[in-house]
Amino acid sequence: MHHFFVKPEQIEGRLVRITGPDVNHGRQVLRLKEGENLLISDGAGRDYVCAVKALEKDCITAGILREDEENRELPAAITLYQGLPKQDKMELIIQKAVELGAARIVPVATEYAVVKLDGRREEAKLKRWQAIAENGARQSKRSRIPQVGEVRTFKDALLEGGKAGLCLFAYEHEEGMAGTKRELAKVRAGQEIALFVGPEGGFSQAEVKMAREAGFAPISLGKRILRTETAGLALLSVLMLKLEMCSEGCTDGGEDGSIFR
């Protein structure tokens, strides 16, 4: 079943009107036929199974058959605060983070980030990154379109991320897995989780100090140094599987609601 995102205002009663570039995509690329079923999401968490009613030049009209109750979102809202990486790596990170269920990706201008974005370049990049998130959401049949936030300073990212129920700060010089185990044991369904990953150069001493002072407990991801694009995705993968199992009630988590033991 092909998947489309529409804005809530494109849904009127039992009819959905697909407009814009999606029309051409549906007609020319997917070669949709009348009567064919589609999965249509309003981007805010509601999904509908629909049937194509009419294929016009500027509009594809579909009738809602039923609301799709199967929730395709992870039961925790994860934000990846990613130190700005070099070249096009952010694109890969966004694409994969969306597949792995992240709710939001926020680029962070850390001390050792080599890439500096000025106003105009940032605007163009953000547009491109948001489009990648949308495509990823469609491809992986998400119910919500993850948001790519504006570039934050490290300080602002800490302030914002600090409001999450849990903050996992990946620090390559942290030794041992005891801290990782302790922090992961705090993961619960229904939580907001912030993940911090440094750029290629890692976090500076000053940044790690700030993070500690803000109450974050840096964690290790093991004895190997992962590339910046690998680190966030590795953490997300672990959280994704645990949260998925938790939503099916088959984790070995503790009775206190923790999903890691």
* Candidate residues 117, 166, 177, 226; the one interacting with ligand SAH per rule CB under 6 A: 226
What part of residues 165-184 is at the interface with ligand SAH (CB under 6 A)? 170-172
**Residue number, 101 or 202, with CB nearest to ligand SAH:** 202
Beta strand pairing status for 104-109 and 77-83?
parallel
**158 touches ligand SAH by CB under 6 A:** no
**197 touches ligand SAH by CB under 6 A:** yes
Please state the closest distance from residue 118 (CB atom) to ligand SAH, in A: 24
* Candidate residues 20, 45, 176, 222; the one interacting with ligand SAH per rule CB under 6 A: 222
**201 touches ligand SAH by CB under 6 A:** yes
Rg (CA), the chain: 20
Which of the ranges 59-67, 118-126, 217-225, 246-254 carries the binding residues for ligand SAH, by CB under 6 A? 217-225
Number of residues lying near ligand SAH (CB under 6 A): 16
Q: Which of 228, 236, 76 is nearest to 166 (CA)?
A: 76
Cβ neighbours of residue 63 under 8 Å, at least 6 residues apart?
14, 15, 16, 50, 51, 53
Query: Which residue has the closest beta carbon to ligand SAH?
Result: 198
Beta strand pairing status for 104-109 and 152-153?
parallel
Which of the ranges 7-15, 65-73, 164-172, 207-215 carries the binding residues for ligand SAH, by CB under 6 A? 164-172
**Residue number, 40 or 164, with CB nearest to ligand SAH:** 164
The footprint of ligand SAH (CB under 6 A) covers 170-172, 197-198, 201-203, 220-222, 224-226, 228, 231
